[in-house]
């Protein structure tokens, strides 16, 4: 069995993982919207600004 971890430690770890995933998603989105062919006449992708509600 694993040694028990304090709940605060588990919570802190969860928060750090969530922040990392949020940053990864933000970076991926920025890369996506800045890639070529994402304009109105582009290759069927989302138009620039279509996901502006993500922040």
Residue 47 lies in a domain: no
User: Could you list the residue range(s) of the whole structural domain that residue 22 is in?
Assistant: 1-36
pLDDT score of 49 more than 60: no
Q: What is the mean pLDDT of residues 26-45?
A: 76
Model pTM greater than 0.85?
A: no
Residue 41 lies in a domain: no
Q: What is the pLDDT of residues 2-24, one digit of tens each?
A: 778 899 999 999 999 999 999 99
Residue 52 lies in a domain: no
Total number of domains in the chain: 1
State the sign of the Cα–Cα–Cα–Cα dihedral 43, 44, 47, 51.
negative
Residue 44 lies in a domain: no
Of the two residues 6 and 38, the one the predictor is more confident about is 6
Residue 4 lies in a domain: yes
Residue 29 is encoded by which pair of tokens? 């989105």
- Cα distance between residue 14 and residue 29, in whole Å: 22
pLDDT at residue 7, rounded to an integer? 93
Residue 2 is encoded by which pair of tokens? 């694993």
Angle at 55 between CA 41 and CA 47, to 5 degrees: 5
| Selection from 33, 26, 25, 27 nearest residue 50 by Cα | 33
């Amino acid at each position: 069995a694993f040694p028990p971890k304090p709940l605060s430690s588990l919570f802190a770890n969860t928060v750090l993982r969530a922040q990392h995933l949020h940053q990864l998603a933000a970076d991926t989105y920025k890369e996506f919207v800045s890639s070529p062919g994402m304009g109105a006449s582009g290759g069927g992708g989302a138009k620039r600004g279509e996901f502006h509600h993500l922040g």
